[in-house]
Structure 1
Amino acid sequence: MNPSTAFATVVVDELIRCGVREAVLAPGSRSAPLAMALAEADRDGRLRLHVRIDERTAGFLALGLIRGTGLPVPVVTTSGTAVANLHPAVLEASHSGLPLIVLSADRPPELRGSGANQTTDQLKVFGDAVRLFHEMGVPRREAGQVAYWRSQVARAVSTAVGARTADPGPVQLNCPLVEPLVPTEGPDWPEPLDGRTTGPWTAIHATSAQPSALAVGPKTVVVAGDGASQAARLVAEAGNWPLFAEPSSRARTGSAVVPTYRLLLGATSLADEIERVIVFGHPTLSRPITRLLSRPDVEVVVVAPTGRWPDAARRATSVITGAEVIGTDETDWLARWLHADELARPAIDKVLANSTSPGALTGPSIAALVGSAVGADGMLVVASSNPIRDLDLAPVVPIRTIANRGLAGIDGTLSTAIGAALANAGPTYALVGDLAFLHDTNALVIGPGEPRPDLRIVVVNDNGGGIFSTLEQAGTTHFERVFGTPHDTNLEALAAAHRIPYTQARTPEALQAALTTTVAGIDLIEARIPRPTTLPQALTTATTQALKQI
């Protein structure tokens, strides 16, 4: 083998030995050795390869595969702007703690700064967003190279999954490759290319830490942000404390969950009685939670198994790696919150059903119907902005709800959903706004030989940036042009261009009927709604009125 082919063969083999089962490739010339090695591994059934023509789509597709499988996923690009197009996905992976492995092909170092085609400085191009950067060096036909390549791949994967640091996140291996870039005949390699008999070149074992004791005493609530996991639910139930769980926390279930927490925090004096908050995950969804975590009279305990922890208000009293509850709150604290939730729910549902006109669709009613349709074996990917906030008001939120909340951007949402669907054995749904949909329509460009997901995309179309109608920007000069940003795009025609079945739902009954059909391949449901200008205030008023008897 020539050096570049040998390098790619060894790197792909070691990735598989380290647990990689899915890989994403954006095509290019300089990355050809890696592309061919991945295709060979796919042919042999050692991993599944996904090819995309857009690097940004490829990056977010990898994130969806990671969220769906829990395993590290490499994404391979050629040199130049191709690498830079991964930056949004790398940032999301960094803030969400997702093990994305960037294999960026590069020209040899002597061509940098020379004006050579597609050559730029790719060293540490992602800055501190990656947990590890390593320049692999130009492959050479000499002894010791195989051990170096395999050892560095094992180190990169272990860093990405947080095996020793408990701080998972993206890594970058920059791979300068020299011609020939395709397999050629040549002398034997000076050493075997094989890896260990079994397993990775270097097995790196995880560290562990003992959980900290949490005593029952203060009036406590548990806040479960994005990625919190069932650990938040278990602590809340053990302490008999209210659980305020965001949709993508994967903790919104069980006997302690308070679904209407966001409205209750501003509508009942119960909020003033809170003395301690136990925080899991990355809470970013609502201002009431932000205000709660900013209160100087509230003790904030952050449970963070990794080396990073959320503390936007800079008021965390302590940060612990795990929590063990000592005792159970025997007062009526949780019962009072559940009672308030029970009183508020009918008032909230009434507002949602009549916020525009009786029988009309609203963002929250669409989210509620989609949440109910997903089912126990399904998965829901929800976009940032209004869709996830609408889902937060729903009475039923699927436990397997995924969202890119590391930076809460709308970019890459469809790609993430496709990746998650490819990793999911059951049906997958995506709930997105019109701007998130349009921002990532390249995700729908899937080649005829590529694996295709079973994914139902529901687009809530209010023709622009509807969330700004509920924020301070509403009513300002030039609002419609610079915040509303109407686009008037024909989504049916766009779906036809991608050969995707399309349905427009104008009523709750029509949407429910469209949701009950079998999810097979990709299809699109469009639900058009007006901008939600008065809905937030109406919900707050209705909740306050409903709780007057408390």
Structure 2
Amino acid sequence: MTISLARYNFFISLELLKTLVAKGVKYFVLCPGSRSGPLALAAASLSKRKELTLITSIDERSAAFLALGISAASGQVSCVITTSGSAVANLLPAAVEADRSCHPLLFLTADRPLRLKECGANQAVNQQDFLKSVCRHFDESPKEGIHLISKERLTSLVGKSFEMASNIPGPVHINLAYEEPLHPCELDQKKVLDGWVIEGFLKGKITPTKDEVVKSFQSLKLLKLDPFSLGIIIVGPWRGKVKQLNSFRGALKKWQKLTGWPILADPLSGVENDQEGLINHWDLFFSIGLFEKIKEIQVLRLGPIPPSRELQTWLKKPGKFQLLITEGDSRNLDPIGGSTQFSEGFSCWVDKMLEVIPVKPAIDKKIVSKKLIKELIKYDLFIHDWLDKRLFRNGLITEPALARLLPRLLPESIPVMIASSSPIRDWLSYSGEGAFLRRCFGFRGASGIDGTLSMGMGLSIIMGRMVLVTGDLALLHDTNGWLFSKDKNISLIVIMIDNGGGGIFNQLNIDRIEEGDFEDIFLMPQQVCHLTLAKAYGLKYKQVACLDDLEKAIEWSFSLSTNVLIRVCTNSIEDHRLRVNLSDDLKKTLSENLSSFD
């Protein structure tokens, strides 16, 4: 019988925390995250059994200082658990203080496995190095994944780390790589909690999918595609210089006109709404399987890959000849593998290609590309009308409806910053043509939520009047950003989606938690009245209850020149159901109304 990797992850996480508890660690401060999910489930289980004291915090910086206070008062090691990415960077201030004031502090940070490092994978950073300069000791699980650790190695890791944190008190960092799947089903949780064990831990290695190593070319060696054969263009978040964006857009127009290839663009790509061949609802195309019949195709990838799991799954399948072009960044930016990389910029590549390709091919092979884009546009227009009817029919505010309507209510000259987690994902899936009406900004490097408001304020200094769309936790994470409101050059309209905590975690593949409360260890709702908080910072604010209210609130916000807050309340559970239903119903509707393309 095959045992799921998710069960191993949970089992090892539980063993790790039990070993720490046995050493005398009592207090654990848990921050929200998906990669750290196995640790969260383990901590919740032990907390329910009264084996440890669990405290939750939405802010890693605050969590670390809270743990520091516990250690300072008790003289005992306390522990902070975080997810990957910039979450780890937020631990540094408390780690510095723990080092200098000699207080025992242990950081457990979840990380991506080795196969996702140094290849542009989302939220995969060199977090193992963030705290080393101030820590007494650093250790880590096997880089391929914690499921490969032996019992002996785990005991040694915990023993040495606890000893180093305690003997000359100070901070210690343990970095733990987790391979997917991360979240055990209810049966796997129950088995482990009922005493399932594997002596000495995993004997044989579970080998993750091996992706091809990307070949990166830093020279001007020309890597060719056939413009007259079937192809597709995928445009990720813009990572070039600001002054290069116009030439990039011009090159994209040239290449699309020559090839007739469809364009699938990320909202942060900088692609403009008048771009020919732009497919607005492409993320939904993948989620309902419309691209599955395309077996062989050239794929021109511009910049980092958009964060669509369905797109990445499709690209991994055979028959995709992929060329990845970056704007001077020679680092490997291909987390899925299989591409060849050209790092001298898209404009340069297009100019070189136009010098060597014939003006007109002997045989016109573009007819296949023309047929493909015609079919895609037909589906795109159908989905456009279908979504409008589904999302706007009752006037209720949902997160997908908000993402669809908001771009239409804003003046086209107004830039938008979109916070990580649900807002940017919904913008990608549901905003349609509205996604490209204006320049969009966001965190697509480490994809964190820290600093969201402050970055919006900084953008406004340069861009002028602009809009920030954010979740409630992301805003609460950075409320001191409101202090920049005293700067008269900042004019920011903040639209806060208040879904009672980290609504994105309702979309995790967790059917049920055997021990512990999902809301407490993942959603972490906070008892904060954001309107009262806004008033304390001297802000003007509005509460929105329906889509009609939203339009009036937008008009009101643009009648002012100061920073304002618009609070939009949604139900994250109902919105998750809505997203699932939309995907299922759309697939069924398309099969009944449109023929599949080949």
Q: TM-score range with shorter-chain normalisation?
A: 0.5 to 0.7
Residue 220 of structure 1: how far off its partner (Å): 1.5
Change (3 A) 1:451 1:307: farther
Per the alignment, residue 3 of structure 1 pairs with none
Per the alignment, residue 402 of structure 1 pairs with 441
Is the Cα–Cα contact under 8 Å of residues 211 and 320 in structure 1 kept in the other structure?
A: no
Is the Cα–Cα contact under 8 Å of residues 120 and 334 in structure 2 kept in the other structure?
A: no
Per the alignment, residue 51 of structure 1 pairs with none
Per the alignment, residue 544 of structure 1 pairs with 587
Is the Cα–Cα contact under 8 Å of residues 434 and 464 in structure 1 kept in the other structure?
A: yes
1:251 paired to 2:271: yes
Per the alignment, residue 362 of structure 1 pairs with 398
Match of 2:335 among 293, 299, 312: 312
Match of 1:296 among 318, 321, 326: 318
Is the Cα–Cα contact under 8 Å of residues 223 and 243 in structure 1 kept in the other structure?
A: yes
1:521 paired to 2:562: yes
Per the alignment, residue 378 of structure 1 pairs with 414
Is the Cα–Cα contact under 8 Å of residues 225 and 283 in structure 1 kept in the other structure?
A: yes
The Cα offsets for residues 33-60 of structure 1, whole Å up to 9 and x where unpaired, read as xxxxxxxxxxxxxxxxxxxxxxx9xxxx
Matches within 5 A, 1:267-282: 267-273=288-294, 275-282=297-304
SS at match of 2:233: strand
Residue 516 of structure 1: how far off its partner (Å): 1.8
Paired residue type of 2:473:
L
The Cα offsets for residues 406-431 of structure 1, whole Å up to 9 and x where unpaired, read as 01111111111111011014x20000
- Structure-1 separation of matches of 2:280 and 2:525: 33
CA RMSD of aligned residues (A): 3.7
Residue 442 of structure 1: how far off its partner (Å): 1.1
Which structure features the higher share of helix residues?
2
Is the Cα–Cα contact under 8 Å of residues 225 and 298 in structure 2 kept in the other structure?
A: no
SS at match of 1:460: strand
- Structure-2 separation of matches of 1:309 and 1:239: 27
Change (3 A) 1:401 1:210: farther
SS at match of 2:505: helix
Is the Cα–Cα contact under 8 Å of residues 233 and 252 in structure 1 kept in the other structure?
A: no
1:533 paired to 2:576: yes
Q: Which sections of structure 2, spanning at least 5 residues, go unmatched?
A: 1-60, 62-92, 100-118, 122-215, 240-244
SS at match of 1:431: strand
Change (3 A) 1:79 1:407: closer
Is the Cα–Cα contact under 8 Å of residues 279 and 376 in structure 2 kept in the other structure?
A: yes
SS at match of 1:526: strand
Is the Cα–Cα contact under 8 Å of residues 496 and 566 in structure 2 kept in the other structure?
A: yes
Residue 285 of structure 1: how far off its partner (Å): 2.2
Match of 1:388 among 424, 427, 439: 424
Change (3 A) 1:511 1:346: same
Paired residue type of 2:408:
S
Paired residue type of 1:276:
Q
Is the Cα–Cα contact under 8 Å of residues 280 and 302 in structure 1 kept in the other structure?
A: yes
Match of 2:471 among 433, 436, 454: 433
SS at match of 1:391: helix
- Structure-2 separation of matches of 1:268 and 1:343: 16
Change (3 A) 1:471 1:240: same
Matches within 5 A, 1:454-533: 454-473=491-510, 475-477=512-514, 478-517=517-556, 518=558, 519-531=560-572, 532-533=575-576
Residue 283 of structure 1: how far off its partner (Å): 2.2
Residue 79 of structure 1: how far off its partner (Å): 13
Is the Cα–Cα contact under 8 Å of residues 369 and 512 in structure 1 kept in the other structure?
A: no
Match of 1:261 among 282, 288, 298: 282
Match of 1:240 among 260, 269, 292: 260
Is the Cα–Cα contact under 8 Å of residues 235 and 264 in structure 2 kept in the other structure?
A: yes
Change (3 A) 1:209 1:377: farther
Residue 318 of structure 1: how far off its partner (Å): 4.3
Is the Cα–Cα contact under 8 Å of residues 416 and 468 in structure 2 kept in the other structure?
A: yes
Change (3 A) 1:238 1:210: farther
The Cα offsets for residues 133-164 of structure 1, whole Å up to 9 and x where unpaired, read as xxxxxxxxxxxxxxxxxxxxxxxxxxxxxxxx
Per the alignment, residue 484 of structure 2 pairs with 446
The Cα offsets for residues 471-505 of structure 1, whole Å up to 9 and x where unpaired, read as 21354342111112111320100100110101000
1:423 paired to 2:423: no
The Cα offsets for residues 272-331 of structure 1, whole Å up to 9 and x where unpaired, read as 315122111222421111112222321121011321242111221443533326568343
SS at match of 1:504: strand
- Structure-1 separation of matches of 2:313 and 2:285: 13
- Structure-1 separation of matches of 2:477 and 2:587: 37
The Cα offsets for residues 348-404 of structure 1, whole Å up to 9 and x where unpaired, read as 2333236xxx21101122123322233232110000101011111113123310011
Per the alignment, residue 227 of structure 2 pairs with 216
- Structure-1 separation of matches of 2:120 and 2:232: 25
Paired residue type of 1:225:
G
Alignment size in residue pairs: 362
Change (3 A) 1:480 1:451: same
The Cα offsets for residues 60-81 of structure 1, whole Å up to 9 and x where unpaired, read as xxxxxxxxxxxxxxxxxx9995
SS at match of 2:377: helix
SS at match of 2:528: coil
